[in-house]
Structure 1
Amino acid sequence: MKIMNLRASQGLPARMATIPGVSEPNPTPDLAPLRTHGLPVGHGHVLHVQEWGAPDGLPVLLLHGGPGSGCSPLLRRGFDLTKYRLICPDQRGAGRSTPRGGLMHNTTAKLLDDLWLLRRRLGVERWLVAGGSWGATLALLHALDQPEGVLGLLLRNTFLAREADIRGFFEGAPAALAQGWTGMPELESKAAQALAIEWWRWERLRCGQSDEAQTPAGEVLEAQVDRYRVQSHFLREGCWLQEPPLLDRLAALPQVPLRLLHGEQDAVCPAGGARLLQAAVPWAELEMLPGVGHDPAHPLLQAAQRRALDAFAGRGDFGPPGDAV
């Protein structure tokens, strides 16, 4: 069953045929994005999209995690911006897309429609697709949905969106979070803020990040509330990927270069899931990283990503993995 069937099963309309115009290049690409776009995708949603790097570089679709998190400078690390053209969309309801935290008409199938529209708006025939956690999930689904548009897949700490993955993330969490995360979208302001702080703390703990960061407050906290509203909205629906499960869909994946980078100590997306993913996609190369968790900034993960990207820019594949499994 291809992802197109997911769209049809939800009674969604056919994709839009009109493509909005493209914004002009930024005059100072060394100090700011190469280009910034506002992409209307229907039902009041407008995606915030930034491009970085070389205008004539190898196109890369860079997908953020979450759902609901938005792109960040951290995700651009490892890319040689003299060789790559990074295309970084904030997904519906996320980052600087509007309405921030918007849940109406915000589903996995809608995110895939948006990527279809984005590729056509920018005139990209084929692109390398990179993403981590939920971004890796979405990358796989995009390759199923638009196999003709994908040059390769570079995936970090892939989230399989199984019920066990979702339930496992909240195991051991404070009672308020473990029992209340599914109700996040309906909470009033103060209750939503309190739960968002609990979620933020728990997420940092599971990612192995320091607890020294300042607790979100003010506008930063409001952004976290909107982020977790979107995440709760997706997770409580199983990301619309339960029937059939993601692993069962992958037989239709295009046979393009596929590198899986995964931390052996990942407590958010356990390493066993990466091995199941490789078994489902036999040509995929799995590089397990010892001592690495879910943190995308870990030096070993950054080094492995840079090696793979430098190889792809030069030869069209990711080269030999540092620790193939």
Structure 2
Amino acid sequence: MSWDSVPASAAVALYPPVAAHDAGFLDVGDGHRIYWEVGGNPLGRPALYLHGGPGGAATADARRFFDAARYRIVLFDQRGCGRSEPRDRLEANTTAHLIGDIEKLREALAIDRWLVFGGSWGATLALAYAQRYPTRVAALVLRAVFLGRQRELDWLYALGASQRFPDAWERFVAPIPARERDDFVGAYHRRVASADPAVALPAARAWCAWEDALIAGGQRPAATTDADDAALLTLARIETHYFVHRAFIEEGELLAGVHRLAGIPGVVVQGSADAVTPPAAAWELCRAWLGATLVVVPCEGHSSSEPGIQRSLVAATDRFCGADVGVHRAYGRDLDTGAGSHYRRRKK
């Protein structure tokens, strides 16, 4: 492991906005279709962005972590969330399914190897994919590492963050009867899965408000109450579905599998004040992964919108765009490019 400081010389944290030049849906089986977008240079270095959650969605701003003149930037919405179909579906929705979807998308886009970028849950999924398909990963850029271990779930939903933010924790605990408070993840999972909106929606709002409060340093952010109820419900349903099953990852699996990353370089960016995914997991990962550079950003937290975090992530993608991170080939034939797409298959 090596240790880098925050790149203070970066004048602008993110690259300018760039539109997608291609988009569509990919049928990944089990009744699921995932929505994907490609932006940047069609002949550039392939890069995949993995959104967080589980249950979040990719946004156009995700492309701004990459130099669009040098990267071919791929985004997609994971099963059951964002623009993927059907929304909220929990059947055939596990970490193994998502890993398979990533590989199907790579094949459909005819990419040999790509840089994989993910934060929080996206970092978990990036590590799981890289350990399953190491020859397809040229480099990893990770933020706010979450390894899916019980101690990390306990920090969030038992004894840990509750001690730092007792007022926000009190609001989180309030909707759950005393008899169910030995398992908050299970209690919330049962409620957000209810077909009755009067049960599911208040639980979803409370679940998401706790996470938002941790990101905001214990404050009560107004955005939670103003957010789209459907998006909150999707996030809470999928997140509790994954967490009640311990992220569908064996205890300690991602640390035990670090040897599979041999030869893959990586940058891990971690806020020192992150209250959602504290620095210990990033430290343990980078101690075991010899190819990793750990960048600790002082006094910043979990959010990818914090300026030091952004500068460090952009510095990481800039570092790797000069390497041989992938070879462009023609688009695969099984890719549905969707209406309005202007980038079509090219000759080899």
Give the structure-1-normalised TM-score: 0.83
Counterpart residue number, 1:62: 49
| Change beyond 3 A, Cα 1:275–1:243 | closer
Question: Which of 75, 89, 97 lines up with 1:110 in the alignment?
Answer: 97
**Contact 1:57–1:85 (8 Å) recurs in 2:** yes
Distance in 2, Cα, partners of 1:190 & 1:236: 22
Question: Which of 305, 308, 313 lines up with 1:300 in the alignment?
Answer: 308
Counterpart residue number, 2:320: 312
Distance in 2, Cα, partners of 1:99 & 1:58: 31
Q: CA deviation at 1:62?
A: 0.5
Distance in 2, Cα, partners of 1:131 & 1:97: 18
Q: Aligned pair count?
A: 287
Secondary structure of 1:143's aligned partner = helix
Structure (1 or 2) with the larger CA radius of gyration = 2
Alignment of 1:226-305 (within 5 A): 226-243=234-251, 245-305=253-313
Distance in 2, Cα, partners of 1:214 & 1:152: 34
Distance in 2, Cα, partners of 1:191 & 1:234: 20
Counterpart residue number, 1:213: 222
Alignment of 1:1-40 (within 5 A): 32-40=19-27
Counterpart residue number, 2:188: 181
| Change beyond 3 A, Cα 1:99–1:309 | same
Q: CA deviation at 1:213?
A: 3.0
Secondary structure of 1:40's aligned partner = strand
Q: Which has the higher contact order (CA 8 A, sep 6+)?
A: 2
**4+ runs deviating over 6 angstroms:** none
Distance in 1, Cα, partners of 2:308 & 2:157: 27
Question: Which of 39, 42, 46 lines up with 2:29 in the alignment?
Answer: 42
Counterpart residue number, 1:15: none
Distance in 1, Cα, partners of 2:148 & 2:96: 14
**Contact 1:92–1:102 (8 Å) recurs in 2:** yes
More deviation in 63-72 or 244-253? Answer: 244-253
Q: CA deviation at 1:150?
A: 0.8
Q: CA deviation at 1:312?
A: 1.5
Q: CA deviation at 1:315?
A: 4.4
| Change beyond 3 A, Cα 1:161–1:46 | same
More deviation in 72-81 or 87-96? Answer: 72-81
Counterpart residue number, 1:12: none
Distance in 1, Cα, partners of 2:223 & 2:297: 29
Distance in 2, Cα, partners of 1:97 & 1:297: 24
**Cα deviation per residue 1:89-133 (whole Å; 9 max; x = unaligned)?**
101011110111110000111111111111110000010000000
Secondary structure of 1:55's aligned partner = coil
Give the structure-2-normalised TM-score: 0.78
Alignment of 1:157-172 (within 5 A): 157-171=144-158, 172=162
**Contact 2:304–2:310 (8 Å) recurs in 1:** yes
Residue 87 in 1 paired to residue 74 in 2?
yes
Secondary structure of 1:34's aligned partner = strand
Identity %: 34
Q: Report the AA paired with residue 193 of structure 1.
A: L
**Cα deviation per residue 1:280-322 (whole Å; 9 max; x = unaligned)?**
21221111110111011000011111112222223469xxxxx
Residue 224 in 1 paired to residue 211 in 2?
no
Distance in 2, Cα, partners of 1:248 & 1:132: 20
Counterpart residue number, 1:137: 124
**Cα deviation per residue 1:2-31 (whole Å; 9 max; x = unaligned)?**
xxxxxxxxxxxxxxxxxxxxxxxxxxxx97
Q: Report the AA paired with residue 182 of structure 1.
A: H
Secondary structure of 2:20's aligned partner = coil
User: Which blocks of at least 5 consecutive residues in structure 1 are unaligned?
Assistant: 1-29, 318-325
**Contact 1:184–1:228 (8 Å) recurs in 2:** no
